[in-house]
Structure 1
Amino acid sequence: MTTTRLAALGREEPSLLTLAQRLLEVAESGLSSMLLPGGEAFAFTMAGRRTPGGAWTLERRGISIRYAAITVLGARFLPEDRQRAVLGGRTAEEFAGLLVESLPAVINLGDAALIAWAAAETGHPKLSDALDRVEALDEQGRPQYTVEAAWVLSALAAARSTVDVERRFASARDRLLRARIGGSPLFPHATGPGLVPWYRAHVSCFADQTYPLQALARAHASGDGDGDPEALAASEACAARICELQGEGGQWWWHYDARTGGVVEGYPVYSVHQHAMAPTALFDLTDAGGSDFGAAIRKGLRWMTDVPELAGHQEPLILDELGVTWRKVYRGDPKKAVRAARGLGTRVAPGLRLKVLDRVYRPVFVDRECRPYEFGWMLHAWQGGRI
C-alpha cells in the first residue's frame, strides 16, 4: 500500500522510498514480537543481547500502556488483516477498547491522553468516558509536562467533531501557547514552574517540540472556517526553527534552550526522531496548511543508513531479521555528564558550548534497544495521510 506521503518520497528520492518501505516492513514484523503473551499489552522495550556466538537476540522488558496507545494510533492506518497481525489478532478499534477499559486504573495524564486520542481516532463508543478520565487527571491550573499537555490537545482535537469539548479544548490550546518563553519559537519542558529544577528549567527536548507543533497543527485543522491561525503560526515557527537547527548529517538534535531557540546538547540522536517523530509532526503540519518540510524529513530519514557518527564502525542501525532499529547513537559519558555540564553552563551563559566535551566524549556508542512507540509513530508518519 503506497500512501501519498510515500509516493511523494518516491518522486523526490527513489532510494529513500525503498528505505522507508524497508523500515515499515521492519516495524510491522517487530511490533508483533513486542506483544506480551496473551496479546493484550506491549513490552516497554526490546533489549538486544549478544549471544556467545556473536549474534543478537532480543529480550522483552517491562510493560507500557503508553506505547500500546501510540501503536494503535499508527496501526489504524493499516488494512484490517495487517492490523490484526500487529495487534495480536485485534483491530486497532478493538485494541483501543482494551485500553479504554483500563482507564480507571491509569494515573498518568499522558497515558490517559494517548488512550483518549486512540479512542477518538478509532470511533470508540466510550470516548466521552475516556476524555472524562483525562480531565480528572489534568488538575486545573497545575503545570504539566509539555509532551503530555500536547497529547491532551491532540486528543481533544481528534474528539472535537463528535464530542462537545470546546471548553477543555480552548484551555489546552491556550496552555500550550502560553508556555513559550519570551517570544522563543521553541517550547519548554513544562508548561509552568515547579516540575523542573531551576538550573535546567530552560532545557527542553526534541519531543517537547514535535508533539506541541503537531498538536497545534491538528488544533488548527480541527476547526471550522479559517481554523486557528495563531495555533498554526506557532506550529510553523517551531517547525521552522528545529529544521534550521538540523544537523548537516540530518540529525534531529536532542536538547534545546527554550529561551533562545538554540541547541544545548545534540546527543543522543534517536532513530525514532529520524524515521518517525519528525516526519509525523511535520507531515501533520503540512496537511494542516503549513509549509512543506519534505527536504528536512528526507534529510533526517537518510541518517538511518548514512550515520556519520558511526563512519568506520560498520554497525547498522536497522536489523531486518530481528525486526528492530537500534534506539540511539550517544556519547557514552558517565551519568550524562555532557548534558549536565552544558545545561548548567547555558543557564548562566546562553550559547556556551564547552567544545572540549565533544573531543573527550565522542558520539560513537549505540543503544541496542527498540521500543513499540518508535514503530507506532513510524506507521503514523508514513501510512497516514491528510488530517
Structure 2
Amino acid sequence: MTSAPARYVHLDGETAELTNRLIALATRGLPAMYRAESDEFAFTRVFTPGNAGFSAHLSGKSLRYAAIVALGVGWLPSAEQPALLGGHDLDSFVARLVEQQSTSTNLGDIALVVWAAAQTSHRLLPDALLRLSEFDRRTAPEYVVEAAWVVSALATARGQADVEEHLAQARKRLLDSVRPGSPVFPHVTGPGLVKPYREHVACFADQVYPIQALARLHHSGADKEALDAARTTAEQICRLQGPDGQWWWFYDARTGDVVEGYPVYTVHQHAMGPMALLDLAEAGGGDYAEPIRKGLRWLLGPAELGPGGEPMLLDEPGLTVRKVFRGDPRKIVRAAHTLTTKVRPGLKLPLVDRVYKPADLDRECRPYEFGWLYFAWLASLNAPAKQATAESAGR
C-alpha cells in the first residue's frame, strides 16, 4: 500500500504497524487455505508447532467463508486478487459463489453471497437475490447473525435492485429481536432454535454483525432508529471490554452483562470488533478509536499467557492462533455460568473461573478471519469495492 487506508486515522503508530503486519500475514496465509484439487476454500487450517517448524493441514470446505473472503479481497487492487482467490479474478470467483448458492440451504451462506454480488455490482446479483427471496422465511425465527447478514446484503443491494419490501421485513426482524430494555442482541430472533436453558445467552458475533448491519442500513437510507440501536450495543460491548482489550464472548441477552468472557478470539480483536465499530463510526454513530486500538494491542502478548507466552501471530506461514480458551472438560465453565445466570442474572461460580484458567491455545486459522481483516481496514461505506479497487490499481 502506497498510502495508509482512510480507516487508519483511528490508529496510532503502534496499532497501524500491527495492522499492516496483519494484512501482510493474511496475504501470505490465505493462498495456503485454498484447495487446488477441488477449487474451493477450506473450512480451516490446523497447525502444530514443533522443533523443526510446524505442520499444517486443511480441513473441510465452506461457502460462507469463501463469500467473506470475496467481501474482503474485493477491497484490494484487482491485480492482487487472483493470487488470493485460487487464481480466479473477483468477477469469476463471485460467479462461482452464486452458482453454489443456488443449492445452498443455509440462510447465512445465501445472504453473504448476495452481499458479495451486490458489493461488486455483479451481473448475477438478480439470481442471488432471487435465491435469497425464495429461501428467507422472513417472519420465522432465525439466528441473529444470519438475520443481520440479510440486512447487510439487502442494504448493499439498494440502488441496484428493488429490495425495499424484503429489507423492511429483515430490518423489523432484527430490531424486534432485542428484549425490551436490553442493550444487546440475543442469539436468535425468536423461540424454538435453542434449548430453553441457554435462550438468554448471546455471543460477540450476535453483537457485531447487527451493529454493522444497522450502521450500513442507516448509511444506505437515513434510518435513525437503526443507528441508535447499533450505537447502544456498541457502547455496551465497549463498556464491558476487558482490561487488556479483550472482546468477551458470551453476554446475557436480558441484561447485557457478560456471562462468560472466554474464549477470546483473535479474529474478534483484529477484524470483527474493528469492522463493526468502524462501519458505525463511518455511518455517524460515534468514535470508537480507543477500544479498537486496545483490542488490537491484546494480540501483541495476551496477559492470559504471561510474559514470554506463545505468539498469537505467525508471520512467515501466514497464520493466527484462533483463540485463547479455558482447558475445561466439556466446557464446564460456560455450562456453569449459563445455568446460574439463567436462574439469576449475574450469578456466577468464581471457583470454576479460578480452577480453569484461560491459558490454552486453539492452533487453527480460518479463511474468513482474513476476509474480515481486509474488509475492516480497507472497506468504505462511501465507495463500492469495484470502484475502490480500480482506484487502488491506478495509484
TM-score tier by shorter-chain length is over 0.9
In 1: Cα distance, 2:295 partner to 2:336 partner: 27
Q: Tell me the residue number matched to 2:275.
A: 280
Q: Which amino acid aligns with 1:6?
A: Y
Instruction: Determine helix, strand or coil for the equivalent of 1:247.
Output: coil
Q: Which moved more, 1:373-382 or 1:306-315?
A: 306-315
Q: Tell me the residue number matched to 2:95.
A: 97
The answer as to whether partners of 2:263 and 2:326 remain within 8 angstroms in 1 is: yes
Residues 208-257 of structure 1, C-alpha deviation per residue, up to 9 Å, x if partnerless? 0000110011011111xxx0000000000000000000000000000000
- 2:20 is the alignment partner of 1:21: yes
Q: Which amino acid aligns with 1:34?
A: M
In 1: Cα distance, 2:102 partner to 2:327 partner: 40
In 1: Cα distance, 2:327 partner to 2:308 partner: 15
The answer as to whether partners of 1:31 and 1:86 remain within 8 angstroms in 2 is: yes
- 2:376 is the alignment partner of 1:381: yes
1:1-387 equivalences in 2 (<5 Å): 1=1, 2-9=4-11, 13-38=12-37, 40-51=39-50, 53-223=51-221, 227-387=222-382
The answer as to whether partners of 2:304 and 2:358 remain within 8 angstroms in 1 is: yes
Q: Which moved more, 1:67-76 or 1:33-42?
A: 33-42
Instruction: Determine helix, strand or coil for the equivalent of 1:105.
Output: coil
Q: Which amino acid aligns with 1:22?
A: R
Instruction: Determine helix, strand or coil for the equivalent of 1:233.
Output: helix
Question: What fraction of aligned residue pairs are identical, expressed as a percent?
Answer: 54
In 1: Cα distance, 2:297 partner to 2:91 partner: 33
Shift of 1:54: 4.7
In 2: Cα distance, 1:312 partner to 1:15 partner: 19
Shift of 1:39: 7.2
Instruction: Determine helix, strand or coil for the equivalent of 1:329.
Output: strand
Distance verdict in 2 for CA 1:8–1:24, change over 3 Å: same
The answer as to whether partners of 1:39 and 1:87 remain within 8 angstroms in 2 is: no
In 2: Cα distance, 1:218 partner to 1:320 partner: 33
The answer as to whether partners of 1:239 and 1:282 remain within 8 angstroms in 2 is: yes
Shift of 1:182: 1.9
The answer as to whether partners of 2:216 and 2:381 remain within 8 angstroms in 1 is: no
Instruction: Determine helix, strand or coil for the equivalent of 1:102.
Output: helix
Shift of 1:38: 4.7
In 2: Cα distance, 1:91 partner to 1:209 partner: 33
Q: Which amino acid aligns with 2:25?
A: V
Shift of 1:313: 5.0
In 2: Cα distance, 1:92 partner to 1:335 partner: 41
The answer as to whether partners of 2:219 and 2:381 remain within 8 angstroms in 1 is: no
The answer as to whether partners of 2:102 and 2:128 remain within 8 angstroms in 1 is: no
In 1: Cα distance, 2:232 partner to 2:80 partner: 37
The answer as to whether partners of 1:189 and 1:208 remain within 8 angstroms in 2 is: yes
Distance verdict in 2 for CA 1:22–1:140, change over 3 Å: closer
Q: Which amino acid aligns with 2:36?
A: P
Instruction: Determine helix, strand or coil for the equivalent of 1:289.
Output: coil
Residues 320-362 of structure 1, C-alpha deviation per residue, up to 9 Å, x if partnerless? 1110100000001111111111011100010012111111000
Question: When the two structures are superposed, what TM-score results if normalisation uses the length of structure 1?
Answer: 0.96
Shift of 1:134: 1.3
Shift of 1:200: 0.4
Q: Give every structure 1 segment of 4 or more consecutive aligned residues whose post-TM-superposition deviation is greater than 6 Å.
A: none
In 2: Cα distance, 1:261 partner to 1:336 partner: 22
Q: Aligned residue pairs: how many? A: 380
Shift of 1:76: 0.4
Q: What CA RMSD, in Å, does the superposition of the two structures yield over aligned residues?
A: 1.2
The answer as to whether partners of 1:186 and 1:241 remain within 8 angstroms in 2 is: yes
Q: Which amino acid aligns with 2:66?
A: A
Shift of 1:385: 2.4
Shift of 1:7: 4.3
Q: Which moved more, 1:17-26 or 1:89-98?
A: 89-98
